[in-house]
Amino acid sequence: MNSSNSGLIEIDEIKQWLPHRKPMLLIDFASEFISGQSLVGHLSPTVDDGWFDGHFPGRPIMPGVLLVECMAQSAALLASKTWSISPKTHTIMFTSIDKTKFRSAVFPGDELNIPIEIILRKRNFIQFSGKVIANGKLAVSCVFWASSVERK
């Protein structure tokens, strides 16, 4: 797996660390990677993303659950790259989501920055804090736990 010293993680490397693929891959690239600490995921949703057709016709808004998924994938990327957790042998899965606050809507064309920080690690459980910032404005924040689960 590639390893970047610049803190930038491009899409080809993201696909090495995460099992997700379009249309469910919700990170275009990541930056500011600091092993064991933090990274910032980035996504530019477009009107061509399928969920906008039905959520909502005439006023497309990115579903809140997908904004939380953006944080989850960014966190999984941080954990996988930090501890060399291969998607061929393990899956990083949510175990809890707490303190979720939705502050503003996200629209096609918005530029999303998704800062993630590791708060705590206990064995194969990791606690994260995350945000989705759309065009400089806080859209969503939460604290969540994830676990590395062996693939059978």
SS3 101: strand
- For residue 126, which amino acid is it? I
Element (H, E) at 57: none
Q: Tokens at residue 66, please?
A: 């997908």
**Cis before residue 60, ω within 30 degrees of 0?**
no
Instruction: Note whether 88 and 17 are within 8 A (CB).
Output: no
Calculate the dihedral angle through the C-alpha atoms of 3, 11, 64, 138, rounding to the nearest 10 degrees. Answer: 70
Q: Which residue has the tokens 């759309």?
A: 134
Which positions are annotated as active-site residues?
A: 55
